[in-house]
Amino acid sequence: MTGESSPAPLVTGERVVVAVVVSRVIFSLPLSLISHGFSLFLLCLSAFLVEIRAESSPSLLSRFSARRGASSGILLGAVTLPAVMISKLVQLTRAISLHEAEQDELAHVTMQYWAASASCCAILIYLSVIMSQAKKTESSSSSVWLTRVSLSGTVLYGAACFLSLSMISHTGLNTSLKMLWMLFHGLAAVKLIRHLLCTFPSCASIGETLLVTSGLVLYFGDFLACTIAKIFEKLIPVDLVSISYGIKRTETGIIIQGLLLGLVLFPMVFRFVLHIYESFLRMRDARQRNCSDAAKSVLFFVSLVLFMVVAVPSWMQFVHDFHQHPFLWVLTFVFSEPLKRLSLCIYWVLLIAVSVSRFYNISRSSKVERILLRKYYHLMAVLMFLPALVLQPKFLDLAFGTALAVFIALEIIRIWRIQPLGEPLHQFMNAFTDHRDSELLIVSHFSLLLGCALPIWMSSGFNDRALSPFAGILSLGIGDTMASMVGHKYGVLRWSKTGKKTVEGTAAGITSVMAVCFVLVPVLASMGYILSQGWWSLLVAVTATGMLEAYTAQLDNAFIPLVFYSLLCL
Q: Which residues contact 52 (CB under 8 A, 6 or more apart)?
A: 8, 10, 146
Biggest CA–CA distance in the chain, Å, is 74
Least confident residue range of 151-155, 469-473, 522-526, 548-552: 151-155
Amino acid at 312: V
Residue 3 DSSP label:
S
Burial tier of 79 (Cβ tally within 10 Å: 0-12, 13-18, 19+): buried
Average pLDDT over residues 121-143: 71
pLDDT value at 451 more than 60:
yes
Burial readout 348-368 (b: 16 or more C-beta within 10 A, e: otherwise): beeeeeebeeebeeebeeeee
Q: How far apart are CA 383 and CA 23, in angstroms?
A: 34
CB neighbours of 388 closer than 8 A, spacing ≥ 6?
A: 344, 395, 396, 399
pLDDT of residue 511 exceeding 90, the answer is yes
Q: What pLDDT, on a 0 to 100 scale, did the predictor assign at position 8?
A: 63
The interaxial angle of helices 370-391 and 338-365, nearest 10 deg, is: 170
Under the banding of pLDDT at 50, 70 and 90, the label for residue 237 is very low
Contacts of 426 (CB under 8 A, 6+ apart): 414, 417, 439
Q: Could you tell me which residue, 390 or 155, shows the higher pLDDT?
A: 390
**Backbone φ and ψ of 68, nearest 5°:** -75, 150
C-beta atoms surrounding 138 within 10 Å = 17
Q: Which residues contact 7 (CB under 8 A, 6 or more apart)?
A: 56
Q: Could you give the CA distance from residue 260 to residue 222 in angstroms, rounded to a whole number?
A: 13
Instruction: Give the rounded percent of residues in the chain with a pLDDT score beyond 90.
Output: 29
Model confidence pLDDT, tens digit, residues 45-74:
888 988 888 887 766 666 777 777 677 889
Q: Give CA 46 to chain center in angstroms.
A: 21
What DSSP character marks residue 33? G
Lowest mean pLDDT among 166-180, 223-237, 356-370: 166-180
Q: Are 36 and 83 in contact (CB under 8 A)?
A: no
Q: How many CA atoms lie within 13 A of 325 on its CB side?
A: 7
Which residues have a Cβ under 8 Å from the Cβ of 336 and sit 6 or more positions away?
Answer: none
Phi-psi region of 96 (alpha: psi -120 to 50; beta: other; left: phi over 0): alpha
- Tell whether omega for the bond before 522 is within 30 degrees of 0, i.e. cis: no
Q: Which amino acid is at 164?
A: S
Q: What is the mean pLDDT of residues 288-296?
A: 74
Residue 428 scores a pLDDT above 60: yes
CA distance 426 to 432: 11
Q: Where are the alpha helices (DSSP H) in 285-369?
A: 293-306, 312-319, 326-334, 338-365
Amino acid at position 414, single letter: R
Ranges 3-17, 255-269, 413-427, 537-551: which has the least confidence: 3-17
CB neighbours of residue 180 within 10 Å: 11
The mean predicted confidence, pLDDT, of the chain is 82
Burial 5-20 (b: 16+ CB within 10 A, else e): eeebeeebbbbebbeb
Q: What is the DSSP string of 208-274?
A: HHHHHHHHHHHHHHHHHHHHHHHHTTTT--S-TTS--TTS---HHHHHHHHHHHHHHHHHHHHHHHH
| Pair 564, 541: CB distance under 8 Å | yes
- What is this structure's pTM? 0.90
- Whether residue 495 contacts residue 501, with contact meaning beta carbons closer than 8 Å, is answered with yes
Rg for the chain, CA atoms, rounded = 24
| Distance (Å, whole) CA 402 – CA 417 | 22
| The pLDDT of residue 303 | 92
Residues facing residue 531 across a β-bridge: 465
Higher pLDDT: 348 or 461? It is: 348
Neighbouring C-beta atoms of residue 154, cutoff 10 Å: 18
Distance CA 314, CA 325 (A): 8
